[in-house]
Amino acid sequence: MSIEENNLLISWKTTINNHLKQSEKFMSDVKTIGIYYEKVKQEIFEIGFNVFKLSSDLYFRENFHSDIIKSLLDPKENHQEKNKYLFLFIDLLNEIDSKNHINKFDFENATVIRERANIDILVIDEKSKKAIIIENKINNAADQQRQLPKYYNHIKSNYTVSAIVYLTLDTSKRPDKNDWTNEEISTIESILKIIPSYDRSNINLYKNWIVPCIIESKNSESLFILKQYGNLIRHLNTINMDTVSLQKFYNTLQAEENHKTSISIRNMLNDLPEYLAIRIEDRYKNKCYPFKNIWRYQKRDTVFDGFVLSDIYIKMDIWCSENGYEIHFWNRDNLDFDVKEYFVDIRSFKDFSYHADKKHSIIKTFNFNEEEKLFHFVDTLLDELKDLQNITNTNG
């Protein structure tokens, strides 16, 4: 081998190794994102019949959540629970930051106001001269210029601001502090309470305020609204978590090689079911008896065809997908034929279930990584069917 050829070989090996390392890193990142994405998919909260969801796009409007929360916090509203919901909200604020404890009785004579000086919700008590500023970002609206400092500076001349509450959809959003002074950052951060509407692990509006309100409610109409609103924000949050995981995946794909690798993986996954079906066909093409033929339908379905028992014609299909295998054992001619009842002595059918509640077809599934288990099952089933056919032929 010449020096040039040797150098070329070394360069080629280096390129391949670098590609493999990059692919391994990419696959590790995608695996982490994928696990999170699938978990989110499983946890997406189905809202069901919900009066707020029926209100079309209303709950996407910026003032929607402010109107609902203000109505619940306001002791003078018609929920007939007086200051109960407000005090439970203050309990939530104290749970977030126990060091800066807020005395609930400083707000015993509270007034709750919408849109004073553009403040979403303002809670004030003229007797104690205390105030709570609430900024709603549940619909993910952007911060206005110097938004929280403006609100604080407007209120502090007449009241002591006990807390500035920043309500978000999830834990990812934070106030924009780029245009704050250092003094404002120090002052406001000491009383700032960032509360996600719903979160699986952190303190949140749903679990730590709405649920206690539900528990403490005596008024049936208030209880209904709380349950409906709680279901809505859980639904909105889990849908948003789905989007966040896709955003992470999108960011990962921005590297050109990562995108190319993902396309290759997608193409291979698309072809994988056909490959699985080919493997089954190759294994049984010369030993499918007592079935007469084995062939593939629509590439990914391996068909065992032509098993006849006392004039009953039976087929077995093994459908392959990226998730695994589905074995269908069925009578093609008689929809009233009960497969499980007729083959009651076949032990392999013990774990089968009726497919789509049709008695003429039964089904059993195997996971993607259970190919050997599948082959063992098919081998055993074929032996049982041979024995049954021999017994039937002998008796016949």
- CA separation for the pair 151, 156 (Å, rounded): 9
Beta bridge partners of 124: 111, 131
Q: How many CB atoms lie within 10 A of CB 382?
A: 20
For the entire predicted model, the pTM comes to: 0.52
Q: Is 107 in a helix, a strand, or coil? A: helix
Distance CA 76, CA 257 (A): 61
pLDDT in tens, 202-218: 888 888 998 999 998 88
DSSP, collapsed to helix, strand or coil, labels residue 98 as coil
What is the pLDDT at residue 385? 95
**pLDDT computed for residue 125 by the predictor:** 94
Could you tell me the CA-to-CA distances from 368 to 163, 273, 321, 349, 373 in Å, in that order?
54, 10, 8, 20, 10
Domain with CATH 3.30.1460 in the chain: 272-395
What residue ranges in the chain does DSSP mark as E strands? 110-116, 119-125, 130-137, 160-168, 192-196, 293-297, 301-309, 312-321, 324-331, 353-355, 358-367
Which tens digits make up the pLDDT trace of 254-312? 776 777 777 777 788 888 999 999 999 999 999 999 999 999 999 999 999 999 998 89
Assigned CATH for 272-395: 3.30.1460
